[in-house]
Amino acid sequence: MYMKLARYTRYTLKEIGMSVCRSLKCRIGPSILNSDLSQLYAESQRLLDNGADYLHLDVMDGHFVPNLTFGHPVVKCLRKKLKNTFFETHMMVSNPEQWIEPMADAGVNLYTFHVEPVQNDVLKICRKIKESGMQVGLALKPGTGIEAVRQFIDAADLILVMTVEPGFGGQKFMSDMMPKVQWLRQNYPLLDIEVDGGVGLNTINACAEAGANMIVSGTAVTGAPDQKSVIATLRETVERSIHKCNV
């Protein structure tokens, strides 16, 4: 595609690649899963004060994953305190369609759901999410291949590649998920690609080099004595890769 563009415009292939690089933005969204939930507002505000671009809110139903966290009432309360913060809800639930309206009412900006339990209804759910005023994210478990989401990418604002099994924090990063990220970046240069699970100072290089630009980090940030330093290092690593890219 870019070769054809270069043939018919005054721009070189290198210039087109640089333009794509400039269009991508790194965003760091700490997961609050392992925060002190009794101090949720204070913990969230601290993350934002230390450089977080958005908050990643893990919603689990005890069915799709064997754990429970919180639902839309908690998100709505948090929204009242953080009026201008970008909220992404990562819906680890068996019936994501059920929670679209409540989460929209709670003030969620980006509604990310897993394709595994709703393979035949993905486009329908994407439409409902957009009609509710939220952006759409599609999430893949480690055992789910790109082919499960490939036909729906154009309907999404973001693809989330899980780098641990969803449901629990503190797991070891799965480096063998990086080919999914690489394929997405090569085929969709401007797509927001998010990674979640075991992402920290020791694994951010792999994520950045593969092409991820949206970084979810849990315990590596929330448990750090110096959250600001960790967030800044994550950002610098990703931004270096964005600037070096040559699509």
Residue 119: predicted pLDDT: 84
The tens digit of pLDDT for each residue in 19-76 reads: 455 589 999 999 999 888 899 999 999 999 999 999 999 999 999 999 999 999 999 9
Q: pLDDT grade, residue 169 (50/70/90)?
A: low
From 117, 184, 175, select the one nearest 150 (Cα to Cα): 184
> Other CB atoms closer than 10 Å to residue 221's CB: what's the count?
28
User: Token pair 């819906």 is at which residue?
Assistant: 91
Mean pLDDT calculated for residue range 178-191: 97
The residue written with tokens 């439409």 in the block is 127
Residues 66-124 have pLDDT tens digits of 999 999 999 999 999 999 999 999 999 999 999 999 999 999 999 999 999 998 899 99
Domain total for the chain?
Answer: 1
| Lookup: tokens for 55 | 């908050």
Cα separation, 196 vs 58, in Å, equals 11
pTM over 0.75: yes
How many CA atoms are closer than 13 Å to the CA of 131, on its beta-carbon side?
9
Which of the residues are catalytic?
A: 58, 196
Helix (H, G, I), strand (E, B) or coil at 66: coil
Specify the CATH number for the domain of residue 116: 3.20.20.70
pLDDT of 51: 98
CB 231 within 8 A of CB 50: yes
* Separation between Cα atoms, residue 227 and residue 201, nearest integer Å: 12
The pLDDT value given to residue 21: 56
Domain around 93: 2-244
